[in-house]
């Protein structure tokens, strides 16, 4: 029941109408008995910083931030977490004295999802497909987890090179190898973990993959797709057709939300409860 003691959280974005985040947070609140409600909040791009300041004035407990605002809101923050500052993007705002502190729970969420799926990052050789904002965050995650090396494959090799240079300068680690996407045949004859960090294959263009060649997928022991709609992408199909394991991005969405909920409420969510929320999400996706 919503009353005068109900704490309010939400997600700002544009568009935001089809977000699954309310399913995550309102399910958690219900199962944990918290007097909390979570709502989607559509904001125009030029008003992102005003929205953050307004949310604080309205006593909101916390916010999630989705596209296209993950960078736009940063100047309106009072504090920013080290990982979020390094990545240059926030997706979770936590109420602190005099404002909000920004966090990036996407990458810790991806890591917890991988751990849940028993996918190892530490010491792994990774093929990262893409060099955009999501891939950039994944690259920082890979370096922070001490992967052996990351081959960054992108249509524009200049963008892949810029990403490798930036990550190297910010982390002091030289383990990113930029490659043109068309040069995938030059990958070493080894087995890799491939992380698909482009938007290709997302609904409604579900029959597309950045690489279609079966020979590429024979080098992939595990494919991790960051898209969750559709539940089984063309990339995943191609990985599985060559005997590899494949996972979609629904658990990443789950865990980035769980980490946000933990930060807002200063609690720890059990894996058992995470599994219950995941089942609710699967039924709604």
Catalytic hit among 70, 125, 219, 251: 70
Q: Which residues of 247-256 are buried (b: 16+ CB within 10 A; e: fewer)?
A: bbbbbbbbbb
The neighbour count for residue 1, using CB atoms within 10 Å, is 5
Distance CA 212, CA 268 (A): 41
Q: What are phi and psi of 41, to 5 degrees?
A: -130, 110
**173 an active-site residue?**
no
Residues taking part in catalysis: 70
């Amino acid at each position: 029941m919503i009353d005068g003691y109900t704490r309010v959280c939400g997600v700002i974005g544009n568009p935001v109408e089809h977000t699954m985040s309310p399913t995550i947070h309102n399910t958690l609140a219900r199962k944990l008995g918290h007097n909390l409600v979570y709502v989607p909040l559509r904001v125009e791009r030029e008003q992102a910083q005003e929205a953050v300041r307004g949310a604080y004035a309205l006593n909101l407990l916390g916010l999630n931030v989705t596209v296209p605002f993950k960078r736009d809101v940063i100047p309106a923050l009072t504090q920013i977490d080290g990982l979020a500052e390094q990545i240059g993007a926030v997706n979770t705002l936590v109420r602190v004295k005099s404002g909000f502190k920004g966090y990036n729970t996407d990458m810790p969420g991806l890591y917890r999802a991988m751990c849940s799926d028993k996918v190892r990052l530490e010491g792994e050789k990774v093929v990262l497909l893409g060099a955009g904002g999501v891939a950039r965050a994944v690259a920082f995650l890979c370096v922070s987890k001490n992967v052996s090396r990351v081959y960054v494959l992108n249509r524009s090799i200049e963008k892949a090179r810029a990403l490798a240079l930036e990550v190297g300068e910010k982390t002091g680690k030289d383990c990113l190898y930029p490659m043109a996407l068309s040069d995938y045949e030059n990958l070493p004859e080894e087995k890799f973990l491939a992380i698909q960090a482009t938007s290709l294959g997302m609904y409604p263009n579900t029959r597309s993959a950045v690489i279609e060649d079966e020979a590429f997928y024979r080098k992939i022991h595990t494919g991790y797709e960051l898209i969750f709609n559709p539940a089984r992408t063309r990339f995943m199909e191609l990985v599985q057709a060559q005997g590899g394991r494949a996972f979609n991005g629904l658990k990443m969405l789950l865990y980035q939300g769980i980490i946000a909920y933990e930060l807002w409420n200063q609690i720890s969510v059990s894996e058992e409860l995470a599994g219950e929320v995941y089942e609710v999400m699967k039924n709604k996706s």
